[in-house]
Structure 1
Amino acid sequence: MPVTEPPRSGAQTVDRAVRVLECFRGGDPELSLSEMAQRCGLPVSTTFRLAQALVRGRLLEQDPTSDRYRIGHGLASLARPALARLGLDAAAPHLYALAAGIKITVSLSVPDAGEALTVFQARPPVSFCHNQIPPERRSLHTSSVGHALLAHTPVGGGRGELIDTVRKRGFAVEEIDGEDPIRAVAVPVLGPGRQVWGALGVQARAVRLDHDLVRAVVPAMHRIAVRIGPYFHTAAAGTEFDAR
């Protein structure tokens, strides 16, 4: 007799569908069925059924040539109200203008569960490379965006000599070691009452983003941070900052 899966409840099916969608977190725009199944920890047959249901719902798309899957336009439509609530729809043109002006990808991060979560990226039309793309989540205590956030939390949120230095100079710098070292810079985005809402960050190869260029781009980052700060009045009021 063929082996069959145990009966599934509706809630379990939804949970599994969410797991399929979460496969696309990170830098992979397209995935094969087997890659999705491996990331989900689900049988290929189950992943296929879920993926096809998500395609019918326009939450995923399937390339007719390669059969690989990618996020669908339907998911972008569902996300639009959340982006508007966060203020990102109004802020996006300013972030793209900044990226074009400094020729480096600009990322916007917010505090989430003790980490800095990247919620938006604006790539420049030229001079783009993958070194400019940060991880989706970074530690508050070891990243430039995390330090920019901690330096402007209420008293008791961010302490220490490094955080004090970031607070005084208004921006944070992070050196990321590797074969081709990367330098990252971040400034805070403040909402009403100068409450920190998020942080603008840029990163690039250290040989390109040298100290002269850092001094040149930081004022432009501050100007845009001030300009977009008012867009986040609704979200800032409900931001929970956990620096633990």
Structure 2
Amino acid sequence: MSASDGRPLRSGTQSIERAIAILECLRLSDRPLGLSDIASEVQLTASTTHRVLRAFVRAGYIEQDQATEQYRLGIGIAVLGQRAIENSGYQLARPVLDDLSQRSGESASLAVRRGTEVVVIDRATGPAPLRFDHPTGSELAAYASAMGKALLAFSASSIDAEVARIPTLERFTDRTITERDALEAELSVTASRGYAINIEERYDGVSAVAAPVLSTRGRAHAAIGLQGPSVRLPAARLDELAPLVRDAATEIAALVIRH
């Protein structure tokens, strides 16, 4: 294994890379995995994989089912995640999310960026029986998400540079933007009006509106969004809700962001 500049990785660095690969393997799986599955996925020997897994199990970051001997992420990971949110200050946003959800009648979500994806770090469930929620921890392709588009449009990099970093524009629905020129145009509109919309680009029958949580320099640290059934959220309704979402984003920025 080599570093990106071609130099051999030191053994300590290599161990960290292996550990991260195993955690990522379990994070991306929607079910517990056996030793051989994990070893195959991360391209390590079974003995090396087992050694890393045992260390994580002892620390509480991975759990092993004693009956099936399969592995899954442990509660220790959740504790780390909660501490990270607390350290970031975003737990202060919960009352704002709750208020936005009640005033709009839709579910509200708060997300941060992770590479070319967005991760939902908190949510407020809408009051309507028919609704759409993003569970906490959900990962969404940024280009097919209203919150993601808000984060891309207000990043520190140019829009064309952000679009170029996305490996592929996978099609999720008939309305997913899969052409880079079209995505750049969409993000330019988002930057101009100050909010993003998503009409069935990720899920059929689901639409959303989102705004960036901005620093004083105008860079997005997070995004807040409303999402729900398209029958209740046509384009005109999304535009009507946009000021509420932008006000909520401004309120969160005042509570959390210090620069």
TM range (shorter): 0.5 to 0.7
Task: For residue 218 of structure 1, report the CA deviation from its aligned partner.
Answer: 3.2
In structure 1, how many angstroms separate the alpha carbons of the residues matched to 2:122 and 2:29? 12
Matches within 5 A, 1:180-191: 180-191=204-215
Aligned residues: 223
Does 1:225 find its partner at 2:226? no
* Cα drift, residue 35 of structure 1: 3.9
Paired AA for residue 23 in structure 2: L
Equivalent residue, structure 1, for 2:146: 144
Quickly say closer, same or farther: Cα 1:200–1:62, change in 2 above 3 A: same
Change (3 A) 1:63 1:216: farther
**4+ residue segments displaced more than 6 Å:** 128-131
- The whole-number CA distance in structure 1 between the counterparts of 2:199 and 2:218 is 28
Residue 24 of structure 1 aligns to a residue whose secondary structure is helix
1:16 is displaced (CA, Å) by 1.5
Q: Which range moved further: 124-133 or 187-196? A: 124-133
Contact preservation (8 Å) 1:116, 1:146: yes
Quote the Cα distance in structure 2 between the aligned partners of 1:48 and 1:23: 14
Q: Which residue of 2 aligns with 1:210?
A: 234
Q: Where does residue 31 of structure 1 map in the other structure? A: 32
CA RMSD of aligned residues (A): 3.9
User: 1 CA distance for matches of 2:237 and 2:155?
Assistant: 27
Give the secondary-structure state (helix, strand or coil) at the position aligned to 2:209: strand
Change in CA separation of 1:132 and 1:57 when aligned onto 2, cut-off 3 Å = closer
Number of the residue aligned with 1:198 = 222
1:166 aligns with 2:190: yes
For the Cα contact (< 8 Å) 1:99–1:122, is it kept in 2?
A: no
Q: Distance in 1 between matches of 2:234 and 2:119?
A: 23
What are the Cα deviations for residues 99-126 of structure 1, in whole angstroms up to 9, with x where unaligned?
566442514133x55x353251425277
1:148 offset after TM fit, Å?
A: 2.2
| Amino acid corresponding to residue 174 of structure 1 in structure 2 | N
CA contact (8 A) 1:61 1:70 kept: yes
Query: What is the distance in 1 between the residues matched to 2:232 and 2:134?
Result: 11
TM-score, L = length of structure 2: 0.64
Classify the secondary structure of the residue corresponding to 2:60. coil
In the alignment, structure 2 segments of 5+ residues that lack a partner are 1-9, 161-183
Alignment partners' CA distance in 2, 1:84 and 1:167: 29
Quickly say closer, same or farther: Cα 1:46–1:206, change in 2 above 3 A: farther
Give the Å deviation of 1:54: 0.5
Partner of 1:106: 109
5+ residue gaps, structure 1, are: 1-7, 238-244
Q: Give the aligned partner of residue 118 of structure 1.
A: 119
Deviates more, 1:130-139 or 1:52-61: 130-139
d(CA) in 2 for partners of 1:136, 1:81: 19
Q: Distance in 2 between matches of 1:221 and 1:65?
A: 47
Change (3 A) 1:120 1:147: same
Which amino acid is 1:157 matched to? S
**Aligned equivalent of 1:72, options 68, 71, 74:** 74
